[in-house]
Structure 1
Amino acid sequence: MTAKIRELESLLDNVAKIHAGDAITGTLFYTLFQGEADADLMNTACFDVFALGNHEFDDGDATLVKFLDVLGSDQTCDTTTIAANVIPAVGTPLAPVTANDYIQPYVIKEFQGQKVAFIGIDIADKTRFSSQPLPTTQFLDEVETAQAYVDALSAMGIDNIVLVTHYGYKNDLALAQAVTGVDAIIGGDSHTLLGNLGQYGLPSAGDYPTLTTNADGDPVCVAQAWQYAQVVGELAVTFREGKVDTCGGTPHLLLGDAFERNRQPITEPERIEILGLIDADPDLGVVTPDPTAEAILAAYADQVDELSQEVIGEAGEVICERRVPTEPRGSAPCDGDAVSLSGAQLDVNGGFSQQVVTDAFLARAFRADLALQNGGGVRITIPEGEITIGTAYTLLPFSNTLVELELSGQEVLDSIEDGLAFYASNPGGNTGAFPYGSRIRWNIDMNQAKGARISAVEVKDRSTRIWSPLDPAETYIVVTNSFLANGGDGYATFKAAADDGRVTDTFINYAQGFVDYLVQDLGGGDLFVPLPEDFSTQSFEPLP
């Protein structure tokens, strides 16, 4: 990514390098180095603007400060961190003296004598409930905050406005239409791929950029650059008299020059033919890694490799990740209505990797009757073949432990409904709250009101393995992750039980629980997708 950014910077005029959030967590690099590796690599690209995302708060405000300190330690790089709707309390790590010690609401850049303002917007509810910020850190309404700062900048005579949001593609389109004076939005959070890459099996949600209008009826350019450093977005905007005059761009998919088919290297002359096809498509490009960035990465990677290469099991098939059954994510074969070897269906039963992980949690919580967890806590598709410790900690990258809660059957029902309600409150941004369970199954109808969305709820006895209706009056031991037990992702019933003292923290890191499941329960053998009747979601009616 650094190489591509530097290449574009050398070819273009009036460049602003923008990062739209979620720079940290999600890999072993963060688990081991707590943001230091991420910041050092970001500094090789030297972003002008960095907007906070929800995952910046996964380990609290103090850990975020450590990352921002490293990000700001490179004197040759001047990255401004922005988030207009994030207000830390003075005296806390993010605001030791003033609310703007670490976070600015906006930054103003000048190009050819014209000022352009970049306003930061973080996704409020998701960050508040799906991460772990301090209770004193405020997250203000996204639309109201954006409009307030557009108005303030307009009063200063600045009418070229770019919102840098970590808010989700669909939310960005709605935000554009709700706010006056906005000209462009660079977004993140929803991992949305835009552009014309469908011919390569990569699902696109819209044009790059997507053109819409603001509340004044003036044009707005909306762009997002997919996920995991796989695309560098090049958005070209010209302004005339405070409005967008032209707008275009390219999502550059970053490729190497070696190719495989069924894990076998592709050789000449086919390799040369593939390189020719890549060269003919402006959206594709072979990129040689930047040597400075590569050297910095190597120093960290050597340490990570020692841990991550140990093989702990084998995936007997591709185990697709998906949060909500009818909302595809990722690449083929997981971007369609994939069916596992067992007959489970992504668009009916939901994510295969989500279900496997939930089963692993239950297996390692020896007194639990069932497991419940959030789909967003599981981050990747498990490829067919060797599973390593690195795979496990990439699959489950957060600092969570396995926690047991003592719940009534009614509270179990209420907890599932909590997750569905949080998802329904913002289906474009809260997909991570969607519930998964082990030894419990249900039917879901999202067209119903909260409290009536699940039906035919059954639990499977751990000893007899017989399914029977869940008893609202019975007491169940439920294993979940510590994030949900603390009320994350809207799971208020979990938090109430924990606050009531009906909680036991096993202090087993949840990724380690998955490792132990593969090594001890499966004996390092093959991992397959469960039978469809053992999935938590048996049928699913989506939101209208």
Structure 2
Amino acid sequence: MNLRKRFIAYIVSFVMILTMFGQVPVAKAANEVTIDILQINDFHGSLQESGKNVGAAKLVNAIKQAKENNPNTIVLSAGDNFNGSAVSNLLYGEPVAKMMKEAGFMFSAVGNHEFDWGLDKIEKWEELSGVPFLAANIYDKNTNEPVTWADPYSIVDVDGIKLGIIGLATPETAYKTKPQNVEGIEFKNPVEVAKELVPKVKKEADIIILLTHLGGFQDKETKKITGEVADLAYVDGVDAVIAGHTHQRIAGFVNNVPIVQGYKYGRALGKISFIVDKDKKEIIKKEASLDLLYREERKATLKDDEATKKIVDEYTKKVGPILNEVIGKTITNLDHNRYDYTTSTLGQWTTDVMKKLENADIAVTNGGGLRTNIPVGDITVGKMYEVMPFDNVLSSFEMTGAQIKEIFEHGIENKEIGSVQFSGVKVEYIKGAEKGNKVVKMTLDSGEEVDLNKTYKVVTNDFMASGGDGYTIFKEAKALGETVAIRDALIQAVKEAKELNYTKEERLIVKEQKQEVKEEKVQQVKVKEPKNTIVYTVKKGDALYKIGRKYNVKWQKIAKFNSLKNPNLIFPGQQLSIPVAN
């Protein structure tokens, strides 16, 4: 009896281990084949094990386990592979490319951050990794043809079943990388491109997979999937969609089409499984799941893949003397979360450094450019690379107060890009107001209120300066030139301070909307209009300086003529008297 119990316990343990590895052997008919598609997305150079990041060695171990359990397994990346860690950044993604080769990735989509260091790096990564990039909706503006450095799609044979894999990039790339790096490139609507291309590929392939760097979200309770990838599931002929970009855990179905996104930083493997009738070339069953590698019980089953560990160790040793240098310490946490819709401690300190270095009136940076907190303790060069993995430089402008207002109108409560970080000014705004009607008042550190018609010196990063994250107003301002790398400036600031004891200020101030509405009603009381005036009804997005420009009247004159207590605050539907020339 004891022997029988031990045998049963052995069988149960064996099945549990196989389950953790994501593949339980099941009996199937002779004419059936099981095909597994594994994917990662937004790896961002996360080569080393740290916190929830399992590291490259354990990630590759998990991939190799899956391939051993089912030889009919292919591995894909949804893009944003290289930029994000110090080891990868200092070597322009080379160690990540070597990791992908060792893991046996088959194809990669093109992420927006693949353009961060210029187009020449994309070809170099393909050469080093042996992993071709797929992109059907990235077009050369000069030829109106797909770019030559990536194929729109590819056909692969897996045990007699042909998979058609189509690559799609996010149109957000146009402003979520340095715009000058994608000049001459058009990112076409992915849904429209898929509608056109899928029927053509279907003539050659049995199964159609969309490998995308397009975002999505999944509700934890209802499991409903929303976002761009959900739209792709309604394209006729699509059998599976692989997502990226939004750093989410997604595994489910839309329109009976499986969709997966494997979180971020190699913490999970997305998996789509097909059981296919080899004779009829038809899908019998399909599944979508996530292998959450970062969970302790799963992580405990993983070992370091020795070949990958050797790659990471060699490259880490190569840059070690640079990264491990302690440059100072902080006795307060420099926290940051760009989606808090306020200014963070890290964001304020960063922009303070920028403002001081350029002797500017105001400094601004995008919340997404700062990637992690700086906790209490020693600060290393490596940590500063984690904080700011992008190689941005300081870029200064002469801007009018009206243009500065546009920065904050775009950057406050922006759900897509997160909150703008800034220094040198306090901004009062109406919470929940529409863009164009948010900002009530801007006051410089000197106590002077920002004059919409006056010019000021503003420093930002070259990403925003070229229209990144949609800050196109900089293109209308007078450029004063670029100087040092921001990361280098921050490192130098820590070295000079030796010990940071930074406290956050109140820079973004919410105004009560009720008070302002009362003022609006007072302003809308009809008065007898003098001669040579016209009545203008304020529209959404209007500003006093824009109205003045339209009628060739100084905005200050309009403000005075209408007895406006605050010329920055006007409302849609409000009537203004415009004094016009004879």
TM more than 0.5: yes
SS at match of 2:404: helix
Rounded to whole Å, the distance in 1 between the matches of 2:233 and 2:396 is 44
Match of 1:382 in 2: 374
SS at match of 2:232: helix
What is the deviation of 1:123? 0.8
What is the deviation of 1:483? 1.6
CA distance 1:106–1:540, change in 2 (3 Å): farther
Match of 1:496 in 2: 476
Match of 2:305 in 1: 290
SS at match of 2:172: helix
Q: Is the 8 A contact 1:53 1:127 kept in 2?
A: no
Match of 2:265 in 1: 228
Match of 2:252 in 1: 210
Q: Is the 8 A contact 1:237 1:245 kept in 2?
A: yes
Match of 1:36 in 2: 94
Rounded to whole Å, the distance in 2 between the matches of 1:100 and 1:486 is 23
CA distance 1:321–1:225, change in 2 (3 Å): farther
TM-score (norm 1): 0.74
Q: Is the 8 A contact 2:136 2:146 kept in 1?
A: no
Q: Is the 8 A contact 2:268 2:292 kept in 1?
A: yes
Code of the residue aligned with 2:329 in structure 1: it is: E
Question: Structure 1 stretch 348-357 or stretch 80-89: which is displaced more?
Answer: 348-357
Match of 2:287 in 1: 247
SS at match of 2:73: coil
CA distance 1:146–1:239, change in 2 (3 Å): farther
Q: Is the 8 A contact 2:112 2:176 kept in 1?
A: no
CA distance 1:511–1:286, change in 2 (3 Å): farther
CA distance 1:245–1:516, change in 2 (3 Å): same
Q: Aligned pair 1:146/2:194, yes or no?
A: yes
Where structure 1 has 5 or more consecutive residues not aligned to the other structure, the ranges are 73-78, 195-207, 214-218, 256-277, 326-347
Match of 1:268 in 2: none
Rounded to whole Å, the distance in 1 between the matches of 2:154 and 2:511 is 48
CA distance 1:298–1:239, change in 2 (3 Å): same
Q: How many residues align?
A: 442
Match of 2:221 in 1: none
Match of 1:484 in 2: 464
Question: Structure 1 stretch 316-325 or stretch 294-303: which is displaced more?
Answer: 316-325
Q: Aligned pair 1:431/2:417, yes or no?
A: yes
CA distance 1:307–1:117, change in 2 (3 Å): same
Identity %: 26
Match of 1:11 in 2: 69
1:90-127 deviations in Å (ceiling 9; x for gaps): 89xxx9xx956431111222233222222111111334
What is the deviation of 1:254? 3.7
Match of 1:261 in 2: none
Match of 1:82 in 2: 134
What is the deviation of 1:379? 1.4
CA distance 1:235–1:318, change in 2 (3 Å): farther
Q: Is the 8 A contact 2:354 2:486 kept in 1?
A: yes
What is the deviation of 1:508? 1.1
Instruction: Identify the match of residue 173 of structure 2 among 94, 111, 126.
Output: 126
Rounded to whole Å, the distance in 2 between the matches of 1:47 and 1:103 is 16
Question: Structure 1 stretch 472-481 or stretch 487-496: which is displaced more?
Answer: 487-496
What is the deviation of 1:89? 6.3
Code of the residue aligned with 2:461 in structure 1: it is: N
Q: Aligned pair 1:524/2:576, yes or no?
A: no
Map 1:165-204 → 2, pairs under 5 A: 165-170=212-217, 171-192=227-248, 194=249
SS at match of 2:338: coil
TM-score (norm 2): 0.70
Match of 1:413 in 2: 405
CA distance 1:247–1:320, change in 2 (3 Å): farther
Match of 1:323 in 2: 338
What is the deviation of 1:139? 1.3
Code of the residue aligned with 2:291 in structure 1: it is: P
Query: RMSD of the TM alignment (CA)?
Result: 2.8
1:167-197 deviations in Å (ceiling 9; x for gaps): 11243443235423322221111111x2xxx
What is the deviation of 1:53? 0.1
Match of 2:17 in 1: none
Instruction: Identify the match of residue 353 of structure 1 among 321, 346, 352.
Output: 346
Match of 1:337 in 2: none
1:8-30 deviations in Å (ceiling 9; x for gaps): 11112421101110112222223
What is the deviation of 1:447? 4.6
Rounded to whole Å, the distance in 1 between the matches of 2:441 and 2:162 is 59
Map 1:432-451 → 2, pairs under 5 A: 434-443=419-428, 447-451=432-436
Q: Is the 8 A contact 2:394 2:484 kept in 1?
A: yes
Rounded to whole Å, the distance in 1 between the matches of 2:494 and 2:63 is 40
SS at match of 2:127: helix
What is the deviation of 1:369? 0.8
Q: Is the 8 A contact 2:252 2:259 kept in 1?
A: yes
Rounded to whole Å, the distance in 2 between the matches of 1:44 and 1:539 is 56
Q: Is the 8 A contact 1:108 1:117 kept in 2?
A: yes
What is the deviation of 1:54? 0.2
CA distance 1:13–1:299, change in 2 (3 Å): closer
What is the deviation of 1:395? 1.1
What is the deviation of 1:31? 3.1
Q: Is the 8 A contact 2:268 2:290 kept in 1?
A: no
Instruction: Identify the match of residue 115 of structure 2 among 42, 54, 57.
Output: 57
Rounded to whole Å, the distance in 2 between the matches of 1:358 and 1:442 is 15
Q: Is the 8 A contact 1:320 1:351 kept in 2?
A: yes
SS at match of 1:321: coil
Rounded to whole Å, the distance in 2 between the matches of 1:244 and 1:360 is 60
Rounded to whole Å, the distance in 2 between the matches of 1:153 and 1:300 is 40
SS at match of 2:484: strand
Q: Aligned pair 1:458/2:443, yes or no?
A: yes
Where structure 2 has 5 or more consecutive residues not aligned to the other structure, the ranges are 1-58, 218-226, 514-582
